[in-house]
C-alpha cells in the first residue's frame, strides 16, 4: 500500500512539473517542444500506472533525455529544412510584426519638448509613480499623466496648462511654484498629493537622480506614446535618447481594410505605413513598403516560415548554390572512399607483417603502432596543422623542404591538390591503427592448414594471399570498412581543424571550400558567420546526409546481422 | 600464416614505427626546447627546459603578470571590484611577497652571472688570448705561403700583359696611396721612379728636419726655465715642440695634422703669450725658434707636396693608359646602346598603337555587324520588291511613255561608297554581298525608271511604290550611320597596315645593333679582365708587404687582430675580382676560429658583466617602487574601495621603467648572452670554462623567465573542465543506458522491436547535424535552469549525455544478451524481484564491461571539439579541446613551446587510458569482426 501511495505521489509530482513546463512552453510559443513534452507525460503516466508499462519504467530517464536532446532536435532539423530560416529571416511572423509596430519615426518637421519628471515620494523615497511637465519651443507648459500600460506598451495623455492647472481624464493637475523664485516649479499637485521635482536633463542639480531615473523610469518612458489630440504624439526616440521629447509617430499601425480574396470582399487586418498611408505588402516571407508614386517595393523585414521544398530545389536549380554543392558532394564521396582505401591498405600491410606468433616484440610493436589512434584526434590534427603544414612556419616547408632539400615551399592550404594531400596524409596517420587492429584479428582467425594445403598444391604466397587470405578477410571486415566509410563521410574534425575547407570555391554564394565535405559545409552554412547564416539550407543538407548515412548503415546492418539481433 | 621471421620484418616495422611516431617525438622535443622552435632552422635543439610545463601546470605568475595583477587591483577591475578591502589587501600582499622572492632570486642570479663572467675575465681570458695569438701565428704561415703563390701566379700573368694594361692596373693602387700615403710606394719604382724619388725626398726631409730640430724642445724649456716660468702654458709649448719632433722622427708627420692644431693653436699662441712675460731677449729667442721650426717644417711640407704632385701625375698617366684601352670601345658602345634604346622605344610605341588600332577596328567591326541587322532585311525586302517588279515588267509590253518611277540615285551613290570601302576587307564579305544586292536592285530601278513607271497601273507596282520609300528610309539610315564607322575602320586598317609593315624593319635594325653590341661588350670585358689582373697584381704586392710585416709583428691580441683584419681585406679583394676562379684555392676559412671565438668570448663576458650591473640597478629601482606601493597600499586600496577611482603613479612609473630598461636592453642582451654562451661552451678550447659558460647560459635564461612578458592560459582549468564534463557525462550515460538496455535484453513487450530500430536509427543521426537545434534548446533551457544553459559545464554535459545514450544502449544491450538467463531465473525462484535481479545480478556481472564503456565514452567526449566550441564561449569555461585551439591561432600560434606542452599534457591521460585498455578495445573489435 505504501508503495502504491509513493507511486501515486510520484506520478502526481511528475505530472505537476511537466504540466507546468507544458504551460510555459506554450506561452513561449514552442509548440513542438510542448507537444513532445505532452507525449512524454502520457508515456510516463502509462509506464508508471499501467502494469503493462513496467518495462518502460527502466527506460524513462533515458527516454526523457532522448526525446529532448535527440528526437526534438531531429524534428526541429526536419522542420527548418522546409523553412527559409536564414540571415535576414530570423524572426517569426508575429515577432516581425511586433518589431514593425514598435518602430517609431520622427515627423518631417519635428518639434522638440523639454521635460522634467515629478515623482511621488513615500517615506522620503521616490516611487514608481510620476508625472511629466513638458515645455514646448514657445515656452508653453503641459502636463503628461503617468504612463499607463496598454498592449505591452504605455500611453500617456498630455494637455496644456491653463492658469497653472489642467484636468486630464478627470484628474486635476496643478503646479506649485516656489515662493522665493516663482519661475521654479517645485511640485505638481495631483488630487491633493504633491509630486516633487525629481529630474530634468537640462538641470545638473538633479543628476544624482539620473541612475534611479534610468533604471526605474527608463524602460517605461522609452515605450511610452504621449498623446495630445491637437499636437499629435510625442516619443523618446533612439535618435535623441532621453534628452528631449520629439513629435513622432509609430511608423506602422494595424488597421482593417477591405481585401478581395477568392472573389469575395472580406475585411482583413493589415499593416499600414503611416507615412505613405499605403498598406504594407506581404510576399516572399517578408513585408514590403510600396512607394505609391513609383510603385517600387522595398523590403522592410523578413520572417521565416514554411517554404516547401525550396531549400532542396535551390540545391538543384540555383547555379551558384548547385555547382559548389555538387563539387562538395562529389569530394565527400572521394574523401570517404580514398580514406578507407589508404588507411586499410596501410593497416593491412602492417597487420600481415605483424601476423606471426613467433615474432619477437610483437606486442610492443603493436602497442607503439596504436599510439596515433590513442591520441585524441583534435590534438594530433592541430599539431599537424600548426607544426607541420603551416605554410611559413611548418617544419615540412621550413625544414624538410627549405633547409634540407632546398625546394620551394608548398602552398598547403591555398592549393586544392596539396590541401587534399595533407588531408589524406593526416587521416591515414590517424586511421591506419584501427585498420591494422581489425585486420590482425581477422587474419588470426584464418586457420593455418588452408595455407599448408595451398603450398602443397604449389601455390605461391602472392597467389594464396589473393585467393585465400583476401576473400576470407573480406567477410568479417566488409561491415567494418563500410562503417569506416560512413565515419569518414562525416569526419568533421579532420576537415574543419586541418584545412577548414580551404581553399574556397570561387564564385560561390555559399561558404564552400574545395576540401569541404558535406558536414563541414553544413556547419559553415549554419555557423559560418561572415557570409550570413542559412539554417534552412544547412538543415536540408543535414537531412540529405542522414539519408545517405542511413542507407549505408542499413546495408551494413544487413551484412553484420544487426537486424536479426532486433528480432531475437 | 606461418612464415619464418626474417630480420627484414623487424627492420620494416621499426622503420614504420619511427615514421609513425615522429610527430609524437616532435611534440615532445619541441615542448622542452628553450629556443623559439617556430623559427629555428633546426628540427631539434640541445637546449632544453621544463619551463613550459612549470608555467602551464603551476600557472605561477612571473613579474609582468604580477604587475598586471596589481595594476588590476588598483583600478579595481574584475574580480577585485567585488571584493572587500581586506581581501584586496591580502591579494596585494601576496603579490608583494611574490615580488620580494623574484627580486631576491634576480639579485642572486645576476650576481652569479657577473661573478662567473668576472672569473672568466680574470682567470681565463689572458690564457685564452695568448693561446689565440699562438694559433694565429701558427696558421699565418699558410696564408703567407698562399699569398706568395698567388703573387707569383699573378706575376706570370702580369708579365705577359702589354704596358698599357700594366699602367691601367695601377689606377686603384695609386688612388689608395693618394688617400693614405705609406712606404709601399717602393713597389712603384719600376713604373714611376719619380714617385719613389719624391717619397724618399720627403722621408729624407723629415729625418733632416728631425735632426735640425732635435734640440728645440730642450732649448725652449731652458729658456723658459731661465725666465722662471713653469706654468701649464710653458709645459704645453714644450710638449707641442716635442710632439712635432716625435712625429718627424717617426715619419708620421703630416702638415695638415700639424699646422692648425699644433702650430697655430699651441706653438704660435703660447709663444706670443709667453713672450710678454719672459723678457725681450728670451722673447726674441722664442720667436726665432718658432720661425726656424716653421720654416723647417715648411720644407718638409714642400717635399710632401712634390711627392703628392708626382702621385697625381702618375694617376693621370695611368688613367690615360686605361682610357686609351677602353674609351673608343666605350663610346661606340654608348652610341650603339643609345640607338638600341631609342629603337626599342619606337618599337614598343608602335606595337602599342598597333594594338590600339586593332582594338578600334574590332570595335568598329562589331558596330558594323549591328548595322547589318538593319541592312540585311532591307536587302531582302528590296530583292522581293524588285523581283516583283521584274516579273510584272517582263509580261508587259514595252512602252514609249516616259516618266520617273522613283529616283534612287542618292541611295545608289551611298551603296557604292559603302561597297568601295567594305569590299577591301574580306571580314565584311557577307554584308558587302548584301549591299551589292541592294545596289543591283537599285540600279535596276534606276535604269528602268520609265518602264516601271509605265506599269504603275499594276497594283503590285503601285504597292511597291508606296512601300519603297520606307524600305529606302531604313536602308538610308543603316548606310548613312554605318559609313562613318566604315571609314573609321578603313582609316585604322590603313594605319595598322602601315605600322605592321614598319615593325619588321625596326626589329631587323634592333637585331643588327644587338649583334654589334655583343662583340664590343666582349672586347670590353676581356680588356677589363686584363686590367683587373694588373690591378690585382699590384694590390697583392701592396698587401703582401703589409701582411708580411704584420705577421712578423704579432705579439699581442690587438696586433693579431690587425693582421687578420688586413688579411681579410685582401681576401675579399681577391674574391671580388673576376679572375678569382682562375687562382689557386684559398686555405680553409675556419683556421682562425679560435681567435674569433676568443674575441666573441671577450665581448660576451664584457656584455655579461655590464648586463649584470644594469640588471641590479634596474631591480633596485623596481623594488624601490614596489616598496613604495607596499607602504601605501592600505591607503590606496581604501580610497579605491570607497569609490573614488584613483590613479596610482607608481604603476605607470613601473611600466615605464620596465619598458625603457628591461624590454629595450636588458632582455635582448640576456637573450644574446644565453645564445652565445651556449655556442661557446661547446668549443674544445673553452672546455675548461664550459661549466661556467653553461651556468651563465642557464642563469640568464631563468632571469628572462622571471622578467619576460608571458601568456599563461588557464590550461589546468580547461583540463579540469574537460575531465568533469566528459567524466560525469560518461558515468550518467552508461548508467541510463544500462537501465534502458535491460528491458530490451530481458523483457518481451509491445514496441520492443520498433524501439530497437528507433534506437538504431537515432544513433545514426550525428549530433553535429542538430547543432542549431541544440544551441537554441540550451539557450531556452538555460532560461529556466541556469546550470544547464549555454556556456555552462552542466549544459555541455547534458548534450553529451543526449548524444551518447542511443549508441551505448545498443552496445550494452549486446553485453546483457551474453549473460545467461539462468542466473536471474534462479534468483527469481528464490523470490527476487525483477528490479533486484537487474541491480544485484546483471549490473555486478557486467561491471567491468560497463567500466570500459564508461572510459571509452569519456575518451570520446574528451575528444569532442565542435559542440564544446559552440556551447562554451567564456575563456574559463573552455574545455581542453577548445582551449588548445587558442594556442594555434592568432598571436600565440608561433609559441610552439607552450602549444606542444599543452598538447602533451592533454594527450597523456588519454594515451595511458587507451593503451591500458587496448586489450578490451582490440578484443571487442576483433570479436565483433569475427562474429559477423
Exposure letters B761-799 (e unless 16+ CB within 10 A, then b): ebbbbbbbbbbbbbbebbeebbeeeeebbbbbbbbbbbb
Q: What is the pLDDT of residues B456-502, one digit of tens each?
A: 777 778 888 888 887 887 787 778 778 888 888 899 999 999 998 88
Copy the grid coordinates of residue A444: 588470426
Residue pairs spanning A and B at CB distance below 8 A: 280
Taking the CA of residue A368 and the nearest CA in chain B, the distance in Å comes to 7
Taking the CA of residue A557 and the nearest CA in chain B, the distance in Å comes to 10
Q: Cα(B91)–Cα(B165) distance, rounded to whole angstroms?
A: 85
DSSP for B129-197 reads HHHHHHHHHHHHHHHHHHHHHHHHHHHHHHHTS-HHHHHHTHHHHHHHHHHS--GGGGGGTTT-HHHHH
Q: What is the CA angle A180-A185-A188, rounded to 5? A: 125
Average pLDDT over residues B628-655: 75
CB–CB of A546 and B749 under 8 A?
A: no
* CA dist list (Å): B378 to B384, B477, B635: 10, 11, 103
CB–CB of A80 and B772 under 8 A?
A: yes
CB–CB of A476 and B900 under 8 A?
A: no
CB–CB of B803 and A367 under 8 A?
A: no
* CA dist list (Å): A64 to A44, B157, B801: 9, 101, 11
Pairwise pLDDT comparison (B766 vs A334), residue with the higher score: A334
Burial zone of B156 (CB within 10 Å; 0-12 exposed, 13-18 middle, 19+ buried): exposed
Taking the CA of residue B768 and the nearest CA in chain A, the distance in Å comes to 8
Q: How many Å separate Cα A138 from the centre of its chain?
A: 52
Q: Which of A58, A60, A487 to mutate to test the interface with B (most CBs of B within 10 A)?
A: A58
Copy the grid coordinates of residue A328: 562538395
Taking the CA of residue A327 and the nearest CA in chain B, the distance in Å comes to 20
CB–CB of A58 and B802 under 8 A?
A: no
- ipTM score of complex: 0.80
Which chain A residue is nearest to residue B38, measuring alpha carbons? A393
Q: What is the pLDDT of residues A205-247, one digit of tens each?
A: 777 677 788 888 888 888 888 998 888 889 988 888 888 888 8
What topology is assigned to A104-250 in CATH? Periplasmic binding protein-like II (2.40.430)
Q: Which of B734, B3, B384 is nearest to A452 (CA)?
A: B3
Q: What is the pLDDT of residues B180-189, one digit of tens each?
A: 666 677 777 7
B930 touches chain A (CB under 8 A): yes
Nearest to B929 among A28, A480, A526 (CB): A480
Q: What is the pLDDT of residues B861-911, one digit of tens each?
A: 999 998 898 899 888 899 999 999 888 877 777 889 999 999 999 999 999
Give residues 866 to 905 of B whose Cβ lies within 8 Å of A: 866, 870, 881, 884-885, 887-888, 893-894, 896, 899-900, 903
Nearest to B13 among A353, A519, A559 (CB): A353
Residue corresponding to grid cell 631609342 = B342
- A chain contacts of residue B885, beta-carbon cutoff 8 Å: 382, 497
| pLDDT tops 50 at residue B930 | no
Taking the CA of residue B62 and the nearest CA in chain A, the distance in Å comes to 27
- A chain contacts of residue B772, beta-carbon cutoff 8 Å: 76-77, 80, 526, 535, 538-539
Residue corresponding to grid cell 567594305 = B422
Give residues 256 to 285 of B whose Cβ lies within 8 Å of A: none
Q: What is the pLDDT of residues B287-296, one digit of tens each?
A: 888 888 888 8
Q: Cα(A242)–Cα(A252) distance, rounded to whole angstroms?
A: 23
Can you say whether residue A150 is alpha, beta or left, with left for phi > 0 and alpha for psi between -120 and 50 degrees? beta
| pLDDT tops 50 at residue B929 | no
Nearest to A77 among B757, B769, B870 (CB): B769
Looking from the CA of B649 toward its CB, the CA atoms found within 13 Å total: 1
Q: Which of B41, B715, B740, B772 to mutate to test the interface with A (most CBs of A within 10 A)?
A: B772
pLDDT at B2: 46
Which chain B residue is nearest to residue A436, measuring alpha carbons? B922
Q: Cα(A326)–Cα(A512) distance, rounded to whole angstroms?
A: 11
- A chain contacts of residue B17, beta-carbon cutoff 8 Å: 365, 368-369
Specify the CATH number for A2-81; select among 3.40.50, 3.30.2170, 1.20.58, 3.90.1280.
1.20.58
Looking from the CA of B70 toward its CB, the CA atoms found within 13 Å total: 28
Q: Which of B37, B745, B865, B885 to mutate to test the interface with A (most CBs of A within 10 A)?
A: B865
8 A C-beta contact, residue B563 and residue B205: no
8 A C-beta contact, residue B850 and residue B819: no
Taking the CA of residue A469 and the nearest CA in chain B, the distance in Å comes to 9
Residue corresponding to grid cell 712578423 = B552
Q: Cα(B863)–Cα(B860) distance, rounded to whole angstroms?
A: 5
Show the low-confidence residues of chain A (pLDDT under 70). 124, 180, 208, 529-531, 562-563, 565-568
Average pLDDT over residues B817-836: 87
Count of Cβ atoms closer than 10 Å to residue B670 Cβ: 26
Q: What is the mean pLDDT of chain B?
A: 86
Burial zone of A236 (CB within 10 Å; 0-12 exposed, 13-18 middle, 19+ buried): buried
B865 touches chain A (CB under 8 A): yes
A542: phi then psi, degrees, rounded to nearest 5: -55, -45
Copy the grid coordinates of residue A42: 502520457
Q: Which CATH class is domain B715-887?
A: mainly alpha
Burial zone of B152 (CB within 10 Å; 0-12 exposed, 13-18 middle, 19+ buried): exposed
Angle between helix axes B429-447 and B409-422 (nearest 10 degrees) is 150
Q: What is the pLDDT of residues B180-234, one digit of tens each?
A: 666 677 777 777 888 888 888 888 888 888 888 888 888 888 888 888 888 888 8
Taking the CA of residue B722 and the nearest CA in chain A, the distance in Å comes to 13
Taking the CA of residue B647 and the nearest CA in chain A, the distance in Å comes to 24
Which chain B residue is nearest to residue A72, measuring alpha carbons? B773
Residue corresponding to grid cell 565527400 = A332
- B chain contacts of residue A387, beta-carbon cutoff 8 Å: 23, 26-27, 30, 896, 899-900
Q: Which of B14, B723, B763, B768 to mutate to test the interface with A (most CBs of A within 10 A)?
A: B768
Query: B508 by DSSP, 3-state: which?
Result: helix
Average pLDDT over residues B775-785: 86
- A chain contacts of residue B925, beta-carbon cutoff 8 Å: 434, 437-438, 441, 480
Report which listed range, A161-170, B235-244, B736-745, is most confident.
Answer: B736-745
CB–CB of A443 and B1 under 8 A?
A: yes
Taking the CA of residue A563 and the nearest CA in chain B, the distance in Å comes to 8
CB–CB of A358 and B911 under 8 A?
A: no
Exposure letters B370-382 (e unless 16+ CB within 10 A, then b): ebbeebbebbebb
Q: What is the pLDDT of residues B490-499, one digit of tens each?
A: 999 999 999 9
Beta strand pairing status for A224-228 and A153-160? parallel
Q: Cα(B362)–Cα(A114) distance, rounded to whole angstroms?
A: 70
The CATH architecture of the domain made up of A314-567 is Orthogonal Bundle (1.10)
8 A C-beta contact, residue B169 and residue B534: yes
Nearest to B764 among A379, A477, A550 (CB): A550
Domain boundaries in chain A?
A: 2-81, 104-250, 252-302, 314-567
Q: Cα(A295)–Cα(A279) distance, rounded to whole angstroms?
A: 12
Query: A119 by DSSP, 3-state: which?
Result: strand
Q: What are the beta bridge partners of residue A166? A: A173
Q: Cα(B329)–Cα(B524) distance, rounded to whole angstroms?
A: 7
All residues at 6 or more sequence positions from B539 whose CB lies less than 8 Å from its CB, including other chains: B172, B173, B570, B573
Nearest to B805 among A65, A444, A557 (CB): A65
CB–CB of A73 and B742 under 8 A?
A: no
All residues at 6 or more sequence positions from B435 whose CB lies less than 8 Å from its CB, including other chains: B375, B379, B415, B418, B419, B422, B479
Nearest to A566 among B753, B772, B865 (CB): B753
8 A C-beta contact, residue B854 and residue B730: yes
pLDDT at B1: 43
Which chain B residue is nearest to residue A29, measuring alpha carbons? B780
Which chain A residue is nearest to residue B913, measuring alpha carbons? A374
Q: What is the pLDDT of residues B72-124, one digit of tens each?
A: 888 777 788 778 878 888 888 999 999 999 999 999 999 999 999 999 999 99
CB–CB of B899 and A354 under 8 A?
A: no
* CA dist list (Å): A497 to A465, A494, B761: 38, 6, 28
* CA dist list (Å): A404 to A397, A411, B169: 10, 18, 44
Looking from the CA of A168 toward its CB, the CA atoms found within 13 Å total: 24
Looking from the CA of B917 toward its CB, the CA atoms found within 13 Å total: 23
Q: Cα(B391)–Cα(B382) distance, rounded to whole angstroms?
A: 14
pLDDT at B932: 27
Amino acid at each position: 500500500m505504501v508503495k502504491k501511495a509513493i507511486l501515486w505521489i510520484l506520478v502526481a509530482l511528475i505530472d505537476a512539473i511537466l504540466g507546468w513546463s507544458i504551460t510555459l512552453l506554450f506561452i513561449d510559443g514552442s509548440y513542438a517542444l510542448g507537444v513532445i513534452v505532452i507525449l512524454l507525460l502520457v508515456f510516463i503516466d502509462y509506464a508508471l500506472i499501467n502494469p503493462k508499462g513496467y518495462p518502460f519504467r527502466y527506460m524513462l530517464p533515458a527516454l526523457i533525455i532522448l526525446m529532448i536532446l535527440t528526437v526534438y532536435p531531429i524534428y526541429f532539423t526536419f522542420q527548418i529544412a522546409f523553412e527559409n530560416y536564414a540571415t535576414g529571416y530570423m524572426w517569426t511572423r508575429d515577432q516581425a510584426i511586433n518589431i514593425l509596430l514598435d518602430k517609431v519615426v520622427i515627423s518631417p518637421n519635428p518639434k522638440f519638448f523639454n521635460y522634467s519628471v515629478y515623482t511621488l515620494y513615500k517615506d522620503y523615497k521616490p516611487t514608481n509613480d510620476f508625472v511629466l511637465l513638458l515645455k514646448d519651443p514657445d515656452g508653453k507648459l503641459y502636463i503628461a499623466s503617468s504612463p499607463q500600460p496598454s498592449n505591452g506598451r504605455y500611453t500617456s495623455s498630455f494637455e496644456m496648462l491653463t492658469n497653472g492647472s489642467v484636468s486630464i481624464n478627470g484628474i486635476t493637475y496643478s503646479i506649485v511654484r516656489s515662493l522665493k523664485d516663482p519661475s521654479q516649479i517645485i511640485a505638481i499637485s495631483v488630487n491633493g498629493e504633491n509630486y516633487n521635482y525629481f529630474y530634468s536633463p537640462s538641470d545638473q542639480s538633479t543628476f544624482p537622480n539620473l541612475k534611479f531615473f534610468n533604471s526605474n523610469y527608463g524602460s517605461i518612458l522609452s515605450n511610452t506614446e504621449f498623446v495630445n489630440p491637437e499636437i499629435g504624439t510625442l516619443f523618446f526616440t533612439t535618435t535623441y535618447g532621453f534628452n528631449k521629447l520629439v513629435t513622432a509617430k509609430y511608423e506602422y499601425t494595424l488597421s482593417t481594410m477591405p481585401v478581395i480574396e477568392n472573389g469575395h470582399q472580406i475585411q482583413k487586418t493589415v499593416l499600414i505605413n503611416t507615412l505613405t498611408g499605403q498598406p504594407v505588402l506581404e510576399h516572399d516571407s517578408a513585408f514590403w513598403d510600396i512607394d505609391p508614386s513609383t510603385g517600387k517595393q522595398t523590403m522592410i523585414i523578413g520572417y521565416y516560415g514554411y517554404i516547401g521544398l525550396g531549400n532542396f530545389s535551390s540545391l538543384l536549380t540555383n547555379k551558384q548554390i548547385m555547382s559548389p554543392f555538387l563539387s562538395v558532394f562529389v569530394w565527400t564521396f572521394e574523401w570517404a572512399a580514398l580514406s578507407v582505401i589508404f588507411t586499410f591498405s596501410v593497416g593491412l600491410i602492417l597487420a600481415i607483417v605483424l601476423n606471426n606468433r613467433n615474432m619477437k616484440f610483437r606486442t610492443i610493436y603493436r602497442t607503439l603502432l596504436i599510439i596515433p589512434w590513442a591520441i585524441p584526434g583534435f590534438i594530433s590534427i592541430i599539431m599537424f596543422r600548426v607544426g607541420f603544414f603551416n605554410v611559413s612556419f611548418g617544419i615540412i616547408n621550413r625544414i624538410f623542404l627549405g633547409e634540407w632539400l632546398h625546394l620551394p615551399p608548398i602552398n598547403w592550404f591555398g592549393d586544392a591538390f596539396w590541401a587534399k594531400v595533407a588531408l589524406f596524409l593526416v587521416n591515414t596517420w590517424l586511421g591506419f591503427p584501427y585498420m591494422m587492429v581489425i585486420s590482425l584479428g581477422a587474419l588470426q582467425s584464418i586457420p593455418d592448414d588452408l595455407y599448408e594445403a595451398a603450398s602443397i598444391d604449389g601455390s605461391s604466397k602472392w597467389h594464396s594471399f589473393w585467393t585465400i587470405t583476401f576473400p576470407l578477410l573480406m567477410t568479417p571486415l566488409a561491415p567494418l570498412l563500410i562503417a569506416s566509410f560512413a565515419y569518414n563521410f562525416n569526419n568533421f574534425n579532420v576537415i574543419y581543424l586541418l584545412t577548414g575547407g580551404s581553399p574556397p570555391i570561387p564564385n560561390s554564394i555559399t561558404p564552400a571550400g574545395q576540401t569541404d565535405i558535406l558536414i563541414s559545409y553544413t556547419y559553415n552554412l549554419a555557423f559560418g558567420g561572415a557570409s550570413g547564416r542559412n539554417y534552412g539550407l544547412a538543415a536540408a543538407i543535414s537531412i540529405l546526409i542522414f539519408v545517405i548515412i542511413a542507407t549505408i548503415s542499413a546495408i551494413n546492418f544487413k551484412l553484420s546481422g544487426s537486424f536479426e539481433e532486433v528480432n531475437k | 600464416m606461418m612464415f619464418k621471421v626474417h630480420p627484414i620484418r623487424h627492420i620494416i616495422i621499426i622503420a614504420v614505427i619511427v615514421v609513425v611516431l615522429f610527430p609524437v617525438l616532435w611534440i615532445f622535443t619541441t615542448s622542452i626546447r628553450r629556443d623559439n622552435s617556430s623559427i629555428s632552422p633546426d628540427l631539434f635543439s640541445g637546449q632544453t627546459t621544463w619551463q613550459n610545463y612549470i608555467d602551464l601546470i603551476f600557472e605561477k605568475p612571473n613579474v609582468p603578470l604580477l604587475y598586471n595583477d596589481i595594476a588590476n587591483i588598483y583600478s579595481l577591475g574584475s574580480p577585485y571590484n567585488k571584493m572587500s578591502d581586506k581581501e584586496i589587501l591580502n591579494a596585494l600582499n601576496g603579490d608583494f611577497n611574490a615580488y620580494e622572492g623574484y627580486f631576491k632570486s634576480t639579485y642572486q642570479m645576476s650576481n652569479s652571472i657577473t661573478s662567473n663572467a668576472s672569473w672568466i675575465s680574470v682567470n681565463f681570458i689572458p690564457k685564452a688570448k695568448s693561446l689565440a695569438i699562438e694559433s694565429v701565428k701558427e696558421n699565418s704561415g699558410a696564408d703567407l705561403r698562399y699569398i706568395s703563390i698567388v703573387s707569383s701566379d699573378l706575376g706570370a700573368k702580369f708579365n705577359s700583359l702589354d704596358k698599357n694594361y700594366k699602367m691601367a692596373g695601377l689606377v686603384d693602387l695609386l688612388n689608395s696611396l693618394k688617400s693614405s700615403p705609406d712606404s709601399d710606394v717602393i713597389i712603384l719604382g719600376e713604373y714611376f721612379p719619380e714617385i719613389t724619388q719624391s717619397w724618399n725626398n720627403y722621408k729624407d726631409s723629415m729625418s733632416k728636419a728631425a735632426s735640425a730640430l732635435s734640440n728645440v724642445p730642450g732649448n725652449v724649456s731652458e729658456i723658459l726655465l731661465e725666465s722662471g716660468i713653469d706654468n701649464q702654458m710653458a709645459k704645453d709649448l714644450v710638449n707641442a715642440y716635442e710632439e712635432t719632433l716625435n712625429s718627424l722622427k717617426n715619419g708620421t708627420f703630416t702638415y695638415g695634422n700639424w699646422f692648425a692644431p699644433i702650430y697655430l693653436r699651441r706653438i704660435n699662441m703660447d709663444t706670443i703669450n709667453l713672450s710678454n712675460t719672459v723678457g725681450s731677449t728670451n722673447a726674441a729667442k722664442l720667436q726665432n725658434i718658432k720661425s726656424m721650426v716653421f720654416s723647417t717644417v715648411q720644407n718638409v711640407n714642400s717635399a710632401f707636396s712634390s711627392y703628392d704632385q708626382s702621385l697625381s701625375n702618375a694617376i693621370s698617366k695611368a688613367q690615360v693608359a686605361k682610357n686609351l684601352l677602353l674609351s673608343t670601345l666605350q663610346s661606340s658602345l654608348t652610341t650603339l646602346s643609345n640607338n638600341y634604346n631609342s629603337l626599342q622605344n619606337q618599337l614598343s610605341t608602335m606595337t602599342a598603337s598597333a594594338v590600339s588600332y586593332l582594338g578600334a577596328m574590332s570595335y568598329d567591326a562589331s558596330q558594323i555587324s549591328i548595322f547589318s541587322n538593319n541592312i540585311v532585311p532591307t536587302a531582302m525586302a528590296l530583292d522581293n520588291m524588285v523581283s516583283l517588279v521584274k516579273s510584272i515588267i517582263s509580261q508587259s509590253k514595252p512602252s514609249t511613255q516616259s516618266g520617273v518611277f522613283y529616283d534612287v540615285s542618292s541611295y545608289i551613290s551611298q551603296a557604292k561608297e559603302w561597297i568601295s570601302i567594305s569590299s577591301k576587307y574580306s571580314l565584311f564579305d557577307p554584308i558587302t554581298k548584301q549591299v551589292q544586292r541592294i545596289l543591283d536592285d537599285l540600279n535596276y530601278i534606276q535604269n528602268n525608271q520609265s518602264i516601271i513607271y509605265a506599269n504603275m497601273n499594276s497594283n503590285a507596282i503601285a504597292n511597291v511604290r508606296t512601300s519603297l520609300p520606307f524600305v529606302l528610309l531604313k536602308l538610308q539610315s543603316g548606310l548613312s550611320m554605318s559609313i562613318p564607322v566604315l571609314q573609321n575602320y578603313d582609316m585604322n586598317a590603313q594605319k595598322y597596315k602601315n605600322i605592321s609593315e614598319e615593325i619588321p624593319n625596326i626589329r631587323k635594325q634592333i637585331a643588327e645593333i644587338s649583334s654589334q653590341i655583343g662583340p664590343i661588350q666582349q672586347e670590353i670585358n676581356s680588356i677589363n679582365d686584363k686590367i683587373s689582373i694588373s690591378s690585382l697584381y699590384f694590390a697583392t704586392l701592396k698587401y703582401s708587404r703589409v701582411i708580411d710585416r704584420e705577421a712578423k709583428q704579432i705579439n699581442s691580441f690587438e696586433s693579431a687582430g690587425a693582421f687578420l683584419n688586413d688579411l681579410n681585406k685582401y681576401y675579399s679583394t681577391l674574391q671580388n675580382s673576376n679572375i678569382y676562379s682562375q687562382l689557386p684555392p684559398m686555405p680553409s676559412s675556419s683556421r682562425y676560429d679560435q681567435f674569433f671565438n676568443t674575441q666573441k668570448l671577450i665581448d660576451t663576458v664584457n656584455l655579461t658583466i655590464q648586463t649584470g650591473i644594469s640588471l641590479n640597478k634596474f631591480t633596485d629601482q623596481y623594488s624601490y617602487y614596489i616598496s613604495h606601493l607596499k607602504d601605501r597600499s592600505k591607503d590606496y586600496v581604501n580610497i579605491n574601495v570607497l569609490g573614488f577611482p584613483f590613479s596610482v603613479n607608481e604603476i605607470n612609473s613601473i611600466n615605464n621603467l620596465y619598458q625603457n630598461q628591461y624590454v629595450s636592453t636588458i632582455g635582448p642582451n640576456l637573450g644574446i648572452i644565453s645564445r652565445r654562451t651556449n655556442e661557446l661552451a661547446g668549443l674544445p678550447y673553452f672546455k675548461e670554462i664550459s661549466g661556467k659558460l653553461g651556468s651563465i647560459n642557464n642563469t640568464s635564461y631563468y632571469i628572462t623567465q622571471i622578467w619576460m612578458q608571458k601568456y599563461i592560459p588557464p590550461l589546468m582549468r580547461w583540463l579540469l573542465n574537460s575531465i568533469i564534463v566528459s567524466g560525469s557525462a560518461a558515468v550518467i550515460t552508461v548508467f541510463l543506458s544500462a537501465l534502458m538496455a535491460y528491458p530490451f535484453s530481458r523483457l518481451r513487450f509491445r514496441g520492443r522491436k520498433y524501439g530497437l530500430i528507433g534506437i538504431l536509427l537515432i544513433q545514426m543521426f550525428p549530433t553535429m547535424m542538430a547543432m542549431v537545434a541544440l544551441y537554441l534548446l540550451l539557450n531556452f533551457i538555460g532560461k529556466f535552469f541556469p546550470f544547464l544553459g549555454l556556456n555552462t559545464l552542466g549544459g555541455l554535459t547534458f548534450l553529451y549525455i543526449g548524444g551518447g545514450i542511443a549508441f551505448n544502449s545498443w552496445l550494452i544491450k549486446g553485453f546483457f544478451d551474453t549473460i545467461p538467463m539462468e542466473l536471474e531465473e534462479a534468483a527469481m525462484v528464490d523470490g527476487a524481484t525483477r528490479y533486484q535481479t537487474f541491480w544485484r545480478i546483471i549490473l555486478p556481472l557486467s561491471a567491468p564491461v560497463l567500466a570500459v564503456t564508461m572510459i571509452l565514452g569519456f575518451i570520446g567526449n574528451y575528444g569532442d571539439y565542435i559542440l564544446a566550441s559552440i556551447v562554451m564561449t567564456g575563456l574559463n569555461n573552455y574545455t581542453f579541446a577548445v582551449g588548445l585551439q587558442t594556442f594555434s591561432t592568432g598571436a600565440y600560434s608561433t609559441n610552439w613551446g607552450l602549444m606542444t606542452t599543452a598538447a602533451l599534457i592533454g594527450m597523456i591521460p588519454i594515451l595511458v587510458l587507451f593503451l591500458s585498455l587496448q586489450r578490451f578495445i582490440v578484443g571487442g573489435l576483433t570479436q565483433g569482426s569475427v562474429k559477423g
